[in-house]
Amino acid sequence: HELKTPLTVILANLQILLSHQDSTIRNQLKWVDNTREEASRMKQLVEELLFLARSDAGTVEVSHAAYTEFDYSDSVLNCALLFEAVAFENKVTLNNDIVPGIHVCGSETQMKQVVTILLDNACKYAGLHGTVSVSLKSASHHAVLTVNNTGEPIPSSDQKHIFERFYKGKNAGPDSVGIGLALSKSVLNRENATVEVQSTVGVGTTFTIRFYRNII
């Protein structure tokens, strides 16, 4: 269904363009832009599905160059800064409390992907005029990242399933595919990290990641 819908939209847009062959691209820009957006959405979904499939098959590889020491504090901060515009558009306040200089070993690209997924979800579900808070601190032999958002809590019956692929909870939005958190869990398993969720009324939803790879 998640692949079929974008394809249906793309084909419909192309049919509209074909029915106006004498028109300029400028006049039909709405349909061109919409087609590009749907194609990008489908490309991301396919990439996520391929990653999960390779993870299941044990064929995901990280090159030596990609698997190295990196500044986790800078990575998390950069992700948070990128989401300031998203938060503003959603009328959400984005706060961060990131201890500088926390270095770890692993795949920076994949760990940033996890942070991006968590921030994207947090901004979506924080609620109007809600708050998203990102925190990174060092603990004994590991780094602790938390992403909290206000808004309606995740029902307890859903919490134990949200990391399952294609699972959509009661609060899931219409654009939810149910892959993001499953992909995050797969990445974290490979990166010697753990993730847990707590969600209650008054506190909101908090995802906590503990990354155990060589804090420097």
Buried b (16+ CB within 10 A) or exposed e, 72-109: bbebbbebbeebeebbeebebebebebeeebbbbbbbe
Percent of the chain with pLDDT over 90: 34
Taking residues 125-131, what's their average pLDDT?
A: 92
- Bigger pLDDT: 5 or 163? 163
What is the value of pTM for the model shown? 0.72
182 vs 195, which has greater pLDDT?
195
| pLDDT in the model for residue 175 | 59
Over range 210-215, report the average pLDDT. Answer: 84
Give dist(CA 133, CA 141) in Å, integer.
Answer: 23
Model confidence over 59-82: pLDDT tens digits? 555 544 457 899 999 999 999 998
Give CA 96 to chain center in angstroms.
Answer: 17
Q: What is the spatial distance between Cα 58 and Cα 37, in angstroms, rounded to a whole number? A: 32
Residues 6+ apart with CB under 8 A from 80: 94, 96, 98, 119, 134
Give tens-digit pLDDT for 2-23. 566 677 778 888 888 888 888 8
pLDDT at 50 over 80: no
Separation of alpha carbons 139 and 123, rounded Å: 27
